[in-house]
Amino acid sequence: MIDHTDQQILKERLRVENRRLHNEYKNKYSKTFKLMDILFVSFIMLNMGALMLTNMLVLKTEPNMTFQEANPAASEIHDFEPHPQAASLFSGFIFQMLMYGILFLSYFSNRNNIRSHTGLILNFTLIFFMFFICFTDFTNNLGYYIGRLLWGV
């Protein structure tokens, strides 16, 4: 029977071996890891860019729109007109930032635990798919048409 001290030693050896395997893979496929990082950052930037483009296109079709502040505290401080649905808009923004945070954490935790060729291929495929979806959304105004469909603009 293995006692508690032996379990701790085995866990530490396993952690060291996993870290060694990951570093070995990272050194062997360093260009692939760099490409994944570039695609991930591009994915985030394209997603934010698509959101901004969608908002600009909505303003282009509705130029008479007045700007209203979604943050209730900022509307009081700067004497802006608060949006009627300010609480839901601001909570939507907070939710989006929370989702970006979860996405960053999951990407970097997965990236730092790649120890096999299969894990590298799966991670790269996932990142490339997310990048491709956001790239097509950014280049073909898909977000604008979805926004028109949802909000009837």
pLDDT tens digits, one per residue of 26-40: 999 999 999 999 999
- The DSSP annotation for 52-95 comes to HHHHHHHHHH-TTPPP-BS-HHHHHHTTPPBPTTHHHHHHHHHH
How far is CA 1 from each of CA 5, 7, 9, 15, 37, rounded to the nearest angstrom?
A: 12, 10, 14, 22, 45
pLDDT tens digits, one per residue of 72-118: 666 666 666 666 665 665 676 778 788 888 988 988 888 888 888 89
Which amino acid is it at 85?
Answer: Q
Which amino acid is it at 135?
Answer: F
Q: Alpha-carbon distance 19 to 26, whole Å? A: 10
% residues pLDDT > 90 (the chain):
22
Residue whose entry in the numeric block shows the structure tokens 């943050």: 71
pTM of the model: 0.65
